[in-house]
Amino acid sequence: MELTLWTYEGPPHVGAMRVASSMKDIHYVLHAPQGDTYADLLFTMIERRGQRPPVTYTTFQARDLGGDTAELVKKNITEAVERFKPKTLLVGESCTAELIQDQPGALAKGMGFDIPIVNLELPAYSKKENWGASETFYQIIRTLLKDKVNEIDKINPQRWKSLGRRPKVNILGPTLLGFRCRDDVIEIQRILSEQGIDTNVVAPLGSSPNDIARLTDADINICLYQEVAETSCEWLKRNCGMEYTTTIPIGIKNTINFINEVHEKLDLPLSNQEELEHKSKLPWYSKSVDSNYLTGKRVFIFGDGTHAIAAAEIAKHELGFEVVGLGTYSREMARQVRAAAKDLNIEALITNSYLEVEDAMKKASPELVLGTQMERHSAKRLGIPCSVISTPMHVQDVPARYSPQMGWEGANVIFDDWVHPLMMGLEEHLIDMFKHDFEFVDGHQSHLGHTATKGPDNKEDEHARNKINSQKKGNVIWTDSGRAELTKVPFFVRGKVKSNTEKYALSKGLPEISDETLYDAKAFFG
């Protein structure tokens, strides 16, 4: 048993939902009680999706447990297939259904449908979300391609030459609720097409079972996010010889390495090697004099494996920071993160406890934190600027604007996102010069106003109360009941309520403001 106040990853069936919701023409029947439907809001609220996830929850209740929950599963499968007419059906269970062992996948296979059925067995008591996404993607590919891979010859990555067409690749791994996946895909496709390389299929994001069935038309696979796609890429390599890339194109150096790796695998000559350095503004911005102040800034990094490792690389080699902490919650990638930390002469932090991360952050006393939304909150409490580099997703991590992490534009985005929370170079200089002037406010950190939070809400309330008491009251007097009522108004609208009430009292010629006046005014202004 593990005490958890907050978790970086959801259960494995949420990973399966990420894959299912990313795809078209697919439906997922999940044997689960009603509460599990909360997962829909991750997609509809965080990603602002205008469609419901393609998931049917069997919604079994306590009274069903004595009876035939298997019949309930079959009824839901029948209804879902009839209503949604999927081209492939995923069937699985969440934590509670795993305990009652109805084996919904096996049941579904015995129902005589003429569509492929993927039986998802995702152990809820030992695995987590990213593992669930990876396993689901792999099982879909295996189910839809297992016959085909036996029939076709091993795929030679250089076959495009003899086939008389441009080289073609698959981009594997992007999903909904993955960090900036939507924009990374666009950026990578743009980079590849510049090099004369076509995209065969992007999956899971935006693909259908038909697309999965033609994955083997490509010459190589691009494994864009190891957490989701590595198992699938390995299977395709083992069973049909498809090579896959392992460089993650985040940062200038690794974008160039990635392009080189793709070209080597395809045996395609790279014509514009020297141009590549200038595709992004990051190298020049980092070199320009204002960036001098970035030198040796202490940075603490925590996130999923892919983004944490990439961030450490960029921080050290492309921005000249000093990495004072590196860690991940992705146990599957602990080995790689440890290796990256070792190169930096620090010890990696592998944990699922945000309190441990906060402790490590405190001890490392960084000047910048690169982490998840949770580290953003921890850093805020400690008064340290922070930029978010990794899942778990928050509505802010799905910006309206184009905002990739990968490729050239990704490097531009990263420069801005990491440097802006810090004090700008010239600004730092000026503050240092003027800090003894009386106008100078102690604790000033940047133009964005990062300051340590003042503490818990009740202190803020007390502060507000004092402020109400001490302020000049103009021509009207606040009675005790009026003042008491005003302190109960949420602080963010308190000022407005106060001024409205005073305006109201003045207009009515009232000498005093009681709690009743406050409510009169509230009704008056609405």
Q: Which residues bind other proteins (CB under 8 A)?
A: 1-7, 9-11, 13-14, 33-42, 44-45, 48-52, 56-62, 64-65, 76, 79, 83, 94-96, 99-100, 123-126, 128, 355, 373-374, 377, 381, 485, 488-489, 515, 519-520, 522-524, 526
Choose among 478, 483, 481: nearest CA to 511.
478
Contacts of 454 (CB under 8 A, 6+ apart): 460, 463
* Element housing 309 (H / E): helix 305-313
| H or E segment and range at residue 152 | none
The Cα 148–Cα 239 span in angstroms is 10
Give the SS3 label for residue 303: strand
Shortest reach from residue 248's CB to other proteins, in Å: 26
Of 99 and 433, the one with the shorter C-beta distance to other proteins is 99
198-203: strand order across its sheet: 198-203, 168-172, 220-223, 243-245
Q: Decide whether 420 or 522 has the Cβ nearer to other proteins.
A: 522
CB 262 within 8 A of CB 248: no
Residue closer to other proteins (CB basis): 66 or 112: 66
Any residues with CB less than 8 A from the CB of 110 and at least 6 apart, and which?
Answer: none
Least CB distance to other proteins at residue 13 (A): 8
The answer to whether residue 290 is catalytic is yes
Return the H-helix or E-strand segment holding 222.
strand 220-223
- Who's near 221: CB < 8 A, 6+ residues apart? 169, 170, 172, 215, 229, 233, 236, 237, 242, 243, 244, 245
In 62-179, beta strands by DSSP E: 88-93, 117-119, 168-172
* Minimum CB distance to other proteins smaller for 5 or for 441: 5
Query: Minimum CB separation from other proteins for residue 378, in Å?
Result: 8
Least distance (Å) from other proteins to the CB of residue 289? 38
Question: Nearest approach, Cβ of 84 to other proteins (angstroms)?
Answer: 9
Q: Please identify, using beta-carbon distances, which residue of 125 and 438 lies nearer to other proteins.
A: 125
First to last CA, the chain: 51
List 25, 40, 64, 290, catalytic entry: 290
Q: How far is the CB of 388 from other proteins (least distance, A)?
A: 11
Pick 7 or 451: Cβ nearer other proteins: 7
| Catalytically active residues, by annotation | 290
